[in-house]
Amino acid sequence: MTADGVLIEAAAVHVPAVAPGLLIASDTTPACGPDEAHGLLGRKGLLFKEPAVRLAMCAVHKALGLPPGRPTGPVPGAAGTAVVVSSNLGNVATVCDIVDQVRAGGLRGVSPMQAPNASSNIIASSIAIRYGFTGPNLMVCSGATGGLDAVRLGALLVRGGRTRRAVVVGAEPGDAVAAALRSAAGLPPGPPEGIAACVVLTAADRPGVRLRSVRRHSAPEPVPADAGPVVRLSGADAPSADLAGVLASGYGATGVLQTALAARWLADPADRPAGVGDATEAAVTCGSADDGFATGRLSRHRGRR
C-alpha cells in the first residue's frame, strides 16, 4: 500500500508494567493496569469488560487527549469516525471461561453479560460504543502482522473516502489464559499486564508525520543503506534491549505500538528515549516466520506537501 495521503494526527501507548519513559521519554505517568483502568476511563461501563478492551480504551482515551472519566456523549467529531483494532488473544480468556463452565455442567452460571465477549470483535465495538464512533468498524485478527495490517486498513478507509478519521488500536491482554496459550505455543510471554497503543489517522492536509506505506513480505524487508537517518523498530532493531523485548512480545499490538512510537519520536525530540536520534523517516517491521512480515514507513513533513 502507498499511503501518501495519510497523516498520523495523534499517537499514544499504554503498556502497564513498563517504565513509561522507556517508550515515550516525556511520559512520566505509569500506565494503569486493566484493573485500575477506571481511574482514566471512569467506573461506569467497565463491568464485564475484558483486560484487552480496557487497555485499548485507555490508549484511545490518551490519543484523543480526553480528560479522565467516561464521556457523557459522543466525543467531538465522533460521527463517521472509523475504528480498526488488532488483537489475537483479546477474548480467549472469556472463551475458555465459558467452556470451563459448560464442561462442568454449569451453563446457568455463565452470565449473559459475557455474551458479547464471546465474539472476537468486542474490542472494536466497545470503543465505538463508548466514544460514539459510527464509521466503519473493523477487528483484525491476523497474528503477528495484525498491528500493521490494522494500520494499513485504517489508511485504506481514509484514502478510500470511507471516513475522515480512523482510530487504529492494537491490544493484547496479559491474563493467565493468554499467557498459557503463548507458553503452549512457544511464543514469548507478553508484558505481564498487557499492552495497547493507538494512532489516529486523517487526510494529510497539513504538516506532520505521515504514514507513507505498509507492505507485507514473506521475510523482513531490509532498509536501504543510503536511506539517511532512519528510526528503525523491529523485534531485533530497537534503541534498548528492554524495548526490543516489548516489541518482540506485543503480538497483534506490536505494529500499532511501533507506528505510535515512531510517530511521536519523529515529531518531538522530547519524546525520544536514550538511543533515538533525530530523523525524518522511520521503518517499522513486525511479524513472525509463521505469519509473515509487514513493514510500515513513516516520514515527517514540515511543508505543505
Partner 1 sequence: MALAITGSAMRTALGGTAETFTALLAGKSGRQPLGYVNPDQVNVRYGYHVDAVEEERPYRASAWLAECVAEAARQAGLDGARERIVVIVGTGLRELRAVERWRADGLPVEPHALHFAGAVRDTLPGVTEVVTVSNACSASSHALALAADLIRLDEADAVVACGADAMTESMLAMIGRVGDESSDAVRPFDADRRGVLLGDGAAAVVLRSVPDSEAEVRLRGVGMSCDAYHETAPDPEGLRAAMADAYQRAGLRPADVGLVLAHGTGTALNDPTEARVLAGLFADVRRPPLVTAIKGAIGHTSGSAGLMSLLVAVEALRHGTVPPVTGLRMPIAEAAPLDLVIGRPARTGAHVAQVNAFGFGGVNAVCLVEVRHDR
CB of 113 to partner 1, least distance (A): 9
Kindly list the distances between the CA atom of residue 280 and the CA atoms of 19, 44, 263, in Å, as whole numbers in the listed order. 26, 42, 10
Kindly list the distances between the CA atom of residue 162 and the CA atoms of 4, 5, 114, 136, in Å, as whole numbers in the listed order. 16, 14, 31, 7
The site map against partner 1 for 220-259 (x = CB under 8 A) is: ----------------------------------------
Q: How far apart are CA 158 and CA 81, in angstroms?
A: 10
Question: In the chain, count of helices (H) and strands (E)?
Answer: 9, 9
274 CB-near residues (< 8 Å, 6+ apart): 25, 239, 240
Q: How far apart are CA 29 and CA 14, in angstroms?
A: 10
Q: Residues 15, 88, 279, 300: which binds partner 1 (CB under 8 A)? A: 88
Q: By C-beta, is 51 or 273 nearer to partner 1?
A: 51
Stretch that binds partner 1, among 21-29, 196-204, 216-224, 239-247 (CB under 8 A): 216-224
Q: How far apart are CA 223 and CA 244, in angstroms?
A: 18
The site map against partner 1 for 49-78 (x = CB under 8 A) is: -------------------------x---x
Q: How far apart are CA 96 and CA 114, in angstroms?
A: 12
Q: By C-beta, is 190 or 273 nearer to partner 1?
A: 190
Q: Is 300 in the site for partner 1 (CB under 8 A)?
A: no
Q: Are 175 and 93 in contact (CB under 8 A)?
A: yes
Record the cell numbers describing residue 71, joined without a space: 464521556
CB of 150 to partner 1, least distance (A): 9
Q: Residues 28, 73, 218, 275: which binds partner 1 (CB under 8 A)? A: 218
Residues of this chain that interact with partner 1 (CB under 8 A) are 1-2, 74, 78, 83, 88-89, 92, 94-96, 98-103, 105, 107-108, 110, 112, 114-116, 118-122, 124-126, 128-129, 131-144, 149, 153, 156-157, 159-160, 162, 177, 181-182, 184-185, 187, 216-218, 288, 290-292
